[in-house]
Amino acid sequence: MNSRVVVTGLGAVTPLGNSVEDLWNGLLAGKSGVGTICSFSTEELSTKIAAQVKGFHPEEYIDKKTLRRLDANEQYCLVASQAAYDDAGLQSDGLDLDRCGAVIGSGIGGIKTFEDQHQILLERGPKRVSPFFIPMMIIDMCAGMVAMRFNFRGPNYGTVSACASSAHAIADAFRIIQRGEADVILSGGTEAAVTPLSMAGFCSARALSRRNDEPEKASRPFDRDRDGFVMGEGSGMVVLESLESAKARGARIYAEIIGAGMTCDAHHITAPLPDGNGAARAMQAAMKDADIKPENVQYINSHGTSTGLGDVAETKALKTVFGTHVRSLVINSTKSMTGHLLGAGGAVESIVTVKTIQEGKLHPTINLDNPDPECDLDYIPEGSREMKVNYGISNSFGFGGHNISLIFAAHNSA
């Protein structure tokens, strides 16, 4: 018999603040985390805005010697992981550390380190490249660092599927605990890709919004005047735990994760299937896994990137999956305020889905001033709402055609 899996801890570093409380309050208030990039020159870039982490002080959590050996994506991850660990009330002397693990995703990894060390190679030669270059760059090192911090000796690895990376990490952690192979897993994702090379690449692909004069209004999912996504950065981490372990510890339970569905478009390197078929099949697979019907679902935390093709495809997918019930769904886009955290997006949005279920509050989708006629569902455009949510779906779709849907539910002890 499969173990039930619950969420007992949450941690976040985001453009809206460096705690789950700051993230959640900012979202309910309709606050944008997007602004002008000030960490490097954007003179030659067509996009000069991003949703950057602000007021981040990792030295409060990580010693200075270690900090110098960590890329920003690893720093974000360790701080968010510590917050989730503390929030869950975990203590090493009360855990079987051989049955505790870390599964953490990132779409790009330590790209700032890559850029910096490549410059050193060109200017000063190979002997001056840092001996920490590789561990600062590779994506799996986030999971490794978390394991070392907490002495978690169970399953440990990284997931990479572009913007679906952290949602895949959470799905994998869910399965591992469900199968009885672990009791506790810290899972989620991290990204620190607001860098000159990364921004240049996305600009060349014409994927980013160019609304440089109005950064707070640049991310506008489902709006007729959207012109691309806004790059974001940060980390979201959750503690997933078997229900048996959580009960034995007397842990607070935020919600239960009950289903995951994964598909591929097999269509295009960046564009989704126009009819949203891959996304639709992911949601259907998740509901089959959770053993619930479409009419049981009340809430969708959409992928909602503010791209021309993506928002329409996701809307079509929702109509395919939910039929007439789609008009009863409430849907929002966290990215309207946080920007797109790439590989960390799914984890941050999973946290938001869990908080929505726990609090009975739904944040708005901001900047939805002129709805796209093809995006005609209830995206909560005019302020936050209160509503009891028993079942919520978090959608994440990545370059390469990766689709994943996670289902969270209100916890009952039955």
283's CB contacts (< 8 A; 6+ apart) are 261, 317, 318, 321, 393, 395, 405
Of the chain, the percentage scoring pLDDT greater than 90 comes to 98
- Tens of pLDDT, residue by residue over 54-101, are 999 999 999 999 999 999 999 999 999 999 999 999 998 889 999 999
Say whether pLDDT at 169 is over 80.
yes
Pairing, β 35-36 against β 5-13: unpaired
Question: How far is it, in rounded angstroms, from Cα 66 to Cα 80?
Answer: 16
Question: How far is it, in rounded angstroms, from Cα 396 to Cα 229?
Answer: 14
Is there a common fold for 5-249 and 260-409? yes
Distance of CA 185 to the CA centre of its chain: 16
Could you list the active site residues? Answer: 163, 303, 340
Average pLDDT, the chain: 97
CATH 3.40.47.10 describes domain 5-249: yes
Nearest to 216 by CA among 36, 25, 351, 407: 36
pLDDT at residue 15 in the model: 98
Say whether pLDDT at 414 is over 60.
no
Quick check: helix, strand or coil at residue 46?
coil
Cα dihedral sign, 214-220-226-228: positive
pLDDT at residue 413 in the model: 54
Nearest to 339 by CA among 186, 163, 187, 189: 163
In this prediction, residue 412 has a pLDDT band, given cuts at 50, 70 and 90, of: confident
Task: Say if residues 144 and 156 touch (Cβ distance below 8 Å).
Answer: yes
CATH architecture of 260-409: 3-Layer(aba) Sandwich (3.40)
Domain boundaries, the chain: 5-249, 260-409
Average pLDDT over residues 138-162: 98
Alpha helix positions (H), 42-104: 64-67, 72-87
pLDDT at residue 1 in the model: 73
Say whether pLDDT at 3 is over 90.
yes
Angle between helices 165-178 and 345-359 (to 10 degrees): 60
Question: How far is it, in rounded angstroms, from Cα 165 to Cα 169?
Answer: 6
Phi first, then psi: give them for residue 274, nearest 5 degrees: -55, -30
pLDDT at residue 398 in the model: 97
Say whether pLDDT at 176 is over 70.
yes
pLDDT at residue 188 in the model: 98
pLDDT at residue 379 in the model: 98
Say whether pLDDT at 150 is over 60.
yes
Any idea what DSSP says for residue 401? T
Q: How many CB atoms lie within 10 A of CB 269?
A: 9
Query: What predicted TM-score, i.e. pTM, was given to this entire model?
Result: 0.97
Any idea what DSSP says for residue 1? -
